[in-house]
A and B are shown apart, each in its own frame.
Chain A
Amino acid sequence: MPKLLITGIAGGLGRLVAKMARSRYQVIGVDRAPWPSAPDRVVVHQFDMRKRRFEDVFRTERPQAVVHLAFVRHFRSDPATRHEINVEGTKRVLEHCAEYGVQQLVVVSSSYVYGALPNNARYMNEDHPLNASRTFPEIRDLCEVEGLVGTFLWRYPQIATSILRPVNTLGHSLHNAIGNYMKIPLVPTVMGFNPMMQFLHEEDLAEAVNVALEKKIRGVYNVAGPGAVPLKRALEEIGRPYFSIPDPVAQTLISTLFGLGIYTFPPGAIDFIKYPCTINDQRFRQATGFRARHTLAEIFASVAP
């Protein structure tokens, strides 16, 4: 049975990917956090990816495939640490993959790298420039990660490297920014703005990662779910009450609270609840035949109070 190494295995997505991949791979995981109830035949090494021992895992285990999920996707921690884990961490993964004969690598990025801008094309394809850093410096590190992996993709044609850019992913085991936002008891929104948003169920994202492994695809792929609805309609379907604040008030309030470290929602993120950031996933569907199984109703139910 081939070996699969998953970085960030103890996170919500890591666990889902591991459980699905278990039937075809011998799964090895690395994470700073423990996964106490890890299923049989899944080996979890608990240490920081930035430690020397990380390389030892590559050397001793010699995995055929790697799924890189160890990213800090929230803004609660110190920006320097976030940057180090995301960018330096990715660089190490890439170096070890090249050195220890890994045959395929899947990196889960995000559709947020395109940025939410008022003049965005409604359904951006993979060639669209990554504009997120223009208005949202806090996720510049994810754009840098994309750059590193993109270069790696061309430098090592023998390794099947793929970058997945999923849309807003929801589910009860994920703790990402959009999920946390939609789970606030009284959700703040911007008055007069209600962008179309695409959603994806966490299990479908795990499935997409597995499909990417199975089909050994190379390149950059958008991953979208069953469709799009306006943000406020999604909140109504989920059953979360929301209120609307005028944009200038929201900007001032959020900047102040974020600056003081009281509320970990960066001002740049406001654009994502004002402007569209929707993507076209045709390339991924054609390459793999992937179709999201969960409907919008099921996605909303998974994060309902």
Chain B
Amino acid sequence: MSDPVDLPLEFVRWLGDRLRDASPRMSGFLSDLVAEIDEKVDRIPAELNEYGYDPWGYNPAVLKRFILPSAFLYRYYFRCQTTGLENLPKGRVLLIGNHAGQVAFDGLMVMAACVLEAEPPRLARGMGEYWLGTLPFMSVLMDRTGSAVGTRQTAVDMLAHGECVMAFPEGVHGMNKLYADAYKLMDFGLGFMRLALQTDTPIVPVSIVGSEEQNPGIANLKGVARLLGMPSFPITLTFPWLGPLGMMPLPVRYHIEFGPPVLFEGDSEDEDDVIEAKVDEVKTILQRQLDRGRKSRRSIFF
């Protein structure tokens, strides 16, 4: 018996299944990708119960289906160049990335990188906005693919179970920043550092170059966002002018770098100043990685 879903998702699943059924007959990339995903998702270390769910609702069968579009984007659209995955420690780890691009493709790409390129494959668990948990379908999808609404206790539990947790401490301020601020790291929340100290978890800084150019932000209408109950309402070259289609990113190339793990020591309940100094260290490392990544690329599309 597979994971039950409601009608609109049922349709997506049906479509995915037809695509997967058809894939052996298609020559080349798609069938290879499906086979690769199957093989790698099966090797992700996870604590599954007899019904195939982990304690937070992750289900590999669902991940296999829904990571296919991400994997496709990863390989053939953003043509991600990922380095440093050998830096990923076994067991608990906190991935800290820069957030950009209006739509969180960066999170999806880091997730895809950890499944497709890490050895053994890992499940990078996103810590989502509170708002996402209130959205129908989105909340279920988030759970089944290993992510969760980000609360301290949930992250602590996941790390205690040796999981890989991914966070973007800039939050929506980073994701919806304007193009003028591209690759400037916004203010970091302090929560991730307290979390790392509390659980004695190594931090792996993940720099993502490319996301800033996928959907350059021109303005952010905070009033409209409040009205719609959304965290932000970005205006880009294509959104909202083209409707949902306007969220389509440009085919930029992503350069993702996983830095060496950094283990911080100290009291997780220290004053903000003390924590902030440690957060700044992470920020500096990440900024350095970003600058290096930007310098080494030939153009935003290659």
Residues of A within 8 A of B (CB): 118-125, 128, 190-194, 196, 227-230, 232-233, 235-237, 244, 246-247, 275, 280, 295-297
Say yes or no: B154 contacts A121, CB within 8 Å.
yes
Are B53 and A229 interface neighbours, CB within 8 A? yes
| B7–A122 touching, CB < 8 Å | no
Q: How far is the CA of A186 from the CA of B176 in the complex (A)?
A: 44
| A118 pairs with B139, CB closer than 8 A | yes
CB A167 to nearest CB in B, in angstroms, measures 13
Stretch at the interface among B30-38, B115-123, B144-152, B281-289: B144-152
User: Which of A192, A233, A295 touches B139 (beta carbons < 8 Å)?
Assistant: A192
**7 closest A-B pairs by CB:** A192-B136, A121-B153, A118-B133, A232-B4, A192-B137, A119-B130, A122-B154
B272 within 8 A of A: no
* B15 CB–A CB distance under 8 Å: no
Bound-state CA distance A275–B57 (Å) is 12
Contact check: which of A124, A128, A193, A229 meets B136 at CB < 8 Å? Answer: A193
Since A193-B139, A228-B55, A244-B6 are in contact, a sample of 18 more A-B pairs with Cβ atoms closer than 8 Å, ordered by chain A residue number, is: A120-B149, A122-B55, A122-B151, A128-B153, A190-B136, A192-B136, A192-B139, A193-B136, A196-B53, A196-B56, A230-B140, A232-B4, A233-B4, A237-B1, A246-B136, A275-B139, A280-B157, A296-B51
- B299 sits at the interface (CB 8 A): no
- Cβ of B50 under 8 Å from chain A: yes
The chain A residue with its CB closest to the CB of B5 is: A194
Q: Which residues of B contact A297 (CB under 8 A)?
A: 50
Residues of the A chain whose Cβ atoms lie less than 8 Å from the Cβ of B149: 118-120
- Partner pick for A118 among B5, B134, B153, CB 8 A cutoff: B134
Q: Is B170 an interface residue (CB 8 A)?
A: no
B-chain residues with CB within 8 Å of residue A190 when the two chains form the complex: 136
Q: Is the CB of A237 within 8 A of B51?
A: yes
Q: Are A123 and B133 in contact (CB under 8 A)?
A: no
> Chain B residue with minimal CB distance to A228?
B55
Question: Given that A118-B130, A230-B53 are known contacts, is A192 also in contact with B6, CB under 8 Å in the complex?
Answer: yes
- Nearest CB in chain A: distance from B254 CB, A: 30
Which residues of the partner chain B approach A124 to less than 8 Å between Cβ atoms?
153
Q: Which residues of A contact B152 (CB under 8 A)?
A: 121
Residues in chain A near residue B212, CB distance under 8 A: none
Cβ-neighbour of B157 out of A119, A122, A237, A295 (below 8 A): A122
Asked if A119 and B51 make an inter-chain contact with CB atoms under 8 angstroms apart, the answer reads no
The reply to whether the CB of B27 lies closer than 8 angstroms to some CB of chain A is: no
Can you name 22 A-B residue pairings with CB atoms under 8 Å?
Answer: A118-B134, A121-B151, A121-B153, A122-B153, A123-B153, A124-B153, A125-B153, A191-B6, A192-B6, A192-B137, A192-B138, A196-B53, A196-B56, A196-B143, A227-B49, A230-B4, A230-B53, A230-B143, A233-B3, A233-B4, A237-B1, A280-B157
Contacts of A194 in B (CB 8 A): 4-6, 140, 143
Tell me if A228 and B53 are in contact (CB < 8 A): yes
Q: Whose C-beta in chain B lies nearest to the C-beta of A242?
A: B4
Please report the C-alpha to C-alpha distance between residue A237 and residue B1 in the assembled complex, in whole angstroms: 9
| Residues on B with beta carbons closer than 8 Å to the beta carbon of A122 | 55-56, 148, 151, 153-154, 157
Q: How far is the CB of A65 from chain B (nearest CB, A)?
A: 34
CB neighbours (8 Å) of A227 from chain B are 49, 55
Are B3 and A120 in contact (CB-based, < 8 A)? no
A244–B7 Cα distance when bound, in Å, is: 9
Which of B9, B135, B140, B151 is close to A119, meaning CB atoms less than 8 Å apart? B151
Q: Which of A123, A190, A275 has the most CB of B within 10 A?
A: A123
| Assembly CA distance A239 to B280 (angstroms) | 54
Residue of A nearest to B49 (CB): A227
Give the distance in Å from the alpha carbon of A296 to the alpha carbon of B8 in the complex: 29
Expressed in whole angstroms, the Cα–Cα distance for A296 and B52 within the complex equals 13
Instruction: Please judge, given known A-B contacts A196-B53, A229-B49, A236-B4, whether A247 and B136 are in contact too, CB under 8 Å.
Output: yes
* Chain B residues, Cβ within 8 Å of A128: 153
List the B residue with the shortest CB-CB distance to A128. Answer: B153
Question: Shortest beta-carbon distance, B125 to chain A, in Å?
Answer: 11
Contact (Cβ within 8 A) A119 B57: no
Q: Considering residues B3, B49, B50, B133, which has the most beta carbons from chain A within 10 angstroms of its beta carbon?
A: B133
Set of chain B residues within 8 Å of A280, measured between Cβ atoms: 157
Shortest Cβ distance from B296 into chain A, in angstroms?
40
Contact B7 A233 (CB under 8 A): no
Residues on the A chain within 8 Å of B8, using CB: 192
Provide the B184-215 mask, 1 if CB < 8 A to any CB of A, else 0: 00000000000000000000000000000000
CB distance from A129 to the nearest CB of B (A): 12
Given the known inter-chain contacts A118-B139, A190-B136, A230-B4, please indicate yes or no for A123 contacting B157, CB distance below 8 A. Answer: yes
| B50 CB contacts on chain A under 8 angstroms | 295-297
